[in-house]
Amino acid sequence: MNKADLAEAIAKKTELSKSKAWETLNATFDAIKGSLKKGQKVSLVGFGSFVVRQRKARMGRNPKTGETIQIKARKVPAFSAGTELKSAVQ
């Protein structure tokens, strides 16, 4: 399922127009991104949680040349599935 399929499923389930479903979906994603950008955790009970994790700086290797390089520390988004989602998949 891609974003268009998800928007269409939302439109059918909620009886919204496709354009309203797209607006709703984009607003949801924007709200999640905004919260993560501020360093806040987004918890959707039963579905899961989005968090920002800090990766430490480390040494890596350039795959083309084999040269050792320094990889900078950075923040990465992460998702942890909730118990209801895990149960639904099994």
CATH of the domain at 55: 4.10.520.10
Q: What is the pLDDT of residue 24?
A: 93
Q: Are residues 27 and 67 in the same domain?
A: no
Output the CA–CA distances (angstroms, integers) from residue 16 to 20, 27, 54, 80, in the order listed. Answer: 6, 15, 39, 29
Q: How confident is the model at residue 34 (pLDDT cuts 50, 70, 90)?
A: very high
Tell me, yes or no, whether 4 and 46 share the same domain. Answer: no
Q: Does 48 lie in the same domain as 29? A: no
Q: Which domain holds residue 8?
A: 1-37
State the pLDDT at residue 78. Answer: 96
Kindly state whether residues 4 and 30 are assigned to the same domain: yes
**Domain shared by 83 and 45, yes or no:** yes
Q: What digits encode the pLDDT tens for the residues 42-62?
A: 999 999 999 999 999 999 999
Count of the separate structural domains present in the chain: 2
Q: Is 50 left (phi over 0), alpha (psi -120 to 50) or beta?
A: beta
**For residue 54, how many other CB atoms are within 10 A of its CB?**
8
2 and 26 part of one domain: yes
pLDDT of 23-32, one tens digit each?
999 999 999 9
Residues 81, 59 within the same domain: yes
32 shares a domain with 48: no
